Amino acid sequence: MHPHLEKLLKLQVIDYDLGELERSKDYLPDMMENLQREMKEVKQKLDDATKQLEEAKTRQKRLELEIKGKETALQKYQQQMMSIKTNKEYDALVAEIDAIKEAISSRETELLETIELVSTLEKDIVQLTEKDDQTNENNTRQLEILQEKVDSIGSKVSDKQDSRREIVDSIPRAVLSTYERVRRGKGGRAVVVVKKRACSACFKALTPKKTQEIKRADRLYSCDSCGSLLYWNNEESN
């Protein structure tokens, strides 16, 4: 392999790493935000279920007291039936008794529904509590790892830039200009291996003559189709 290509390959790896580090400045905070959002959402569901349970238990107690009060009133009216003297009084009392019975029936139905809701919410809260604990544990650990990565980006970028400068200083200006031009045009990848006697970037087949020239590695060769800088690797190119 031509010595300039060896340096360009090293430079390409560094440039790729630098690009990844730059991209990580965007996606790492997004990942952290998603983890924090998940924790908040689970916590909110647990809080909502806990609030609903408190309201349901309060409603259950109220209904039980209302039913008890109306049952007491019903017994009172039923006892008064023994002392009624006129049909008018009888009809009025029967109407009162029927109204109380209807009210008791309505509240008993609501009470049964509330008791069922309490039971469901209690089960949900057990599951949500477990999920909240697990989510907090897992996400907190991941957040710590991601934060370490965020904190280390600056030093990693600095180290990569130092390594890049060392390589750049050892590459002729014309060669470096060609590399940079192709890299910008190809979205970051400028140096590619020949695979099955074709450019591995655009898959354009190479002529036998050009294949032999690339093998000799006496100078830099570019793909006539896409402009990528080509090199031969016996393990990959045959």
- Per-residue model confidence (pLDDT) at position 110: 97
- 10 is written with which tokens? 């090293």
Q: Are residues 89 and 183 in the same domain?
A: no
Q: Are residues 114 and 67 in the same domain?
A: yes
Could you tell me if residue 102 is inside a domain? yes
Q: Hey, how many other C-beta atoms are within 10 angstroms of the C-beta on 124?
A: 17
- What is the rounded CA–CA span in Å between residue 110 and residue 105? 9
Q: Each residue's pLDDT tens digit in the chain (238 positions)?
A: 889 999 999 999 999 999 999 999 989 999 999 999 999 999 999 999 999 999 999 999 999 999 999 999 999 999 988 888 889 999 999 999 999 999 999 999 999 999 999 999 999 999 999 999 999 999 999 999 999 999 999 999 999 999 999 999 999 999 999 999 999 888 778 999 999 999 999 999 999 999 999 999 999 999 999 999 999 998 877 7
Q: Are residues 141 and 181 in the same domain?
A: no
With tokens 């690797």, the residue in question is 233
Phi/psi for 192 (5° steps) reads -135, 155
pTM of the entire predicted model = 0.70
CATH of the domain at 43: 1.10.287
Q: Determine the structural domain holding residue 96 and report its residue range.
A: 26-152
Q: Are residues 69 and 127 in the same domain?
A: yes
Could you tell me if residue 194 is inside a domain? yes
Q: Which of 92, 118, 152 is the last residue of a domain?
A: 152
Give the count of domains, the chain. Answer: 2
Q: Are residues 178 and 71 in the same domain?
A: no
